[in-house]
Amino acid sequence: MAGRRLVYSGGADGGGGSNMNTFLLQNQRVPESLFFSGSSPSFLGSRSMVSFEDFNGCKRPERQFFQSFDQEENVDEEYDEYLHQPEKKRRLSADQVQFLEKSFVEENKLEPERKVQLAKDLGLQPRQVAIWFQNRRARWKTKQLEKDYGALESSYNSLKADYDSLLKETEKLKSEVLLLTDKVLLKQKQKGNMDPSDSNQQLLAQPQGSVDSVMPSNQEDHSSAKSDVLDSDSPHYIEGGHSPLQEPGDSSYVLEPDQSDLSQDEEDNLSKNPLPSTEYVFPKVEHDYPTPPTNSSYFGFPVEDQTFGFWPYY
DNA sequence: TTGTGTTTTATTGCCTCC
DNA sequence: GGAGGCAATAAAACACAA
């Protein structure tokens, strides 16, 4: 049985001359006191805690943990009394803990020799030292997890903020594109019966935002709308000049620097290359993603847009 | 003093390694 | 198969407010 292991059952012994270190096989179903070895008259039976109190249960004035226990007097009487005390768990002294902490900082794993040495130095059972290290490792791990969690959380928060602002910017640019598209379309319509030199004034006079979401798919079109949208910082930017607005297979479209207004050249181009009859439907930027498994574990990130490389599970 | 929450010490059961 | 590590848990010790 795996749970059956060698467990110390020592008494208030510091590893000195009257060595009360006694090991026994502890098993839940068998009273501890039935298992003991050694013939020391000081054997403490079922005591499983190392005491730093005297046998009457009163706290000693911080016994030095390296003190020899040989000097104990009236051991037999006190031991007798001690035997009839209810079993109690006792904390290590501040000195002992400090010593152990120091040792833990040096190396958080405990080789057998070091364990024995520490136990000797501290007047503890080796098993106690091992348990202390084990518990200390568990505490350290918990702290580490909290730290890692905090770091991940703040990293996630900043990424999400970035993502949100990009989303906003995308929306803004999208509406800008629509606006400019409207202008272009209106201009095209008026092109036939208007003097080109007057076009800018006419454009300025146009009512805005009243036209359907249509985009010219003209390959020669270098309108500012496209160059605005296809910013290299944009998540939709495609290296090599391929626009998300392009038709599949179209490789001739080249990104241009920002042109916030229509120039004379553009007007000329537009007059040379009238808009084709086919309409381009502006691609939806959001809500085109599959529904996430759950909202709570998902934080609103699109499934296909896991650019952060991990799923936030918390 | 007492109730309650937290920390510390110790046990148990399972797992891995040698 | 034994030793040792770890997670889960129990329980004593401790802190602290009411």
Q: Which nucleotide is nearest to A124 (CA to C1')?
A: B9
The SS3 of residue A8 is strand
What does strand B contact on the protein, if contact means CB under 7 A?
Answer: A 1-3, 5, 7-9, 26, 28, 48-50, 89-92, 97, 127-128, 131-132, 134-135, 139
Distance in angstroms, CA of A23 to C1' of B17?
24
What burial class does residue A181 get, using C-beta atoms within 10 Å of its C-beta: 0-12 exposed, 13-18 middle, 19+ buried? buried
Range A300-308 contact pairs with CB under 8 angstroms and sequence separation of 24 or more = A301/A160, A301/A163, A305/A235, A307/A235, A308/A156, A308/A159
Residue A58: CB less than 7 A from any atom in strand C: no
Report yes or no: A42 and A16 within 8 Å, Cβ to Cβ: no
Distance in angstroms, CA of A48 to C1' of C8?
21
**Bases along strand B below 7 A from a protein CB:** 8-16
Query: Average pLDDT of A283-290?
Result: 30
pLDDT given at position A195: 54
Alpha-carbon span A26 to A201, nearest angstrom: 97
Query: Average pLDDT of A108-113?
Result: 92
Q: Which is higher by pLDDT, A227 or A163?
A: A163
Alpha-carbon span A80 to A61, nearest angstrom: 22
Please give the mean pLDDT across all residues of chain A: 55
Burial A10-28 (b: 16+ CB within 10 A, else e): bbbbbbbebbbbbbbebee
Residue A88: CB less than 7 A from any atom in strand C: yes
Distance in angstroms, CA of A157 to C1' of B5?
32
Burial A119-133 (b: 16+ CB within 10 A, else e): bebbbbbbbbbbebb
**Bases along strand C below 7 A from a protein CB:** 3-8, 11-14
Alpha-carbon span A112 to A301, nearest angstrom: 51
Residue A143: CB less than 7 A from any atom in strand C: no
Report yes or no: A53 and A59 within 8 Å, Cβ to Cβ: yes
Distance in angstroms, CA of A263 to C1' of B15?
75
pLDDT band at A191 (very low <50, low <70, confident <90, very high): confident
> Which range among A100-104, A142-146, A157-161 shows the weakest confidence by mean pLDDT?
A142-146
Distance in angstroms, CA of A132 to C1' of B15?
21
Alpha-carbon span A26 to A91, nearest angstrom: 22
Residue A13: beta bridge partners?
none
Supply the DSSP symbol for A13. -
Q: Is the pLDDT of residue A268 over 90?
A: no
Q: What percent of chain A has pLDDT over 70?
A: 33
Q: Which amino acid is at A107?
A: E
Query: Average pLDDT of A61-75?
Result: 37
Supply the DSSP symbol for A172. H
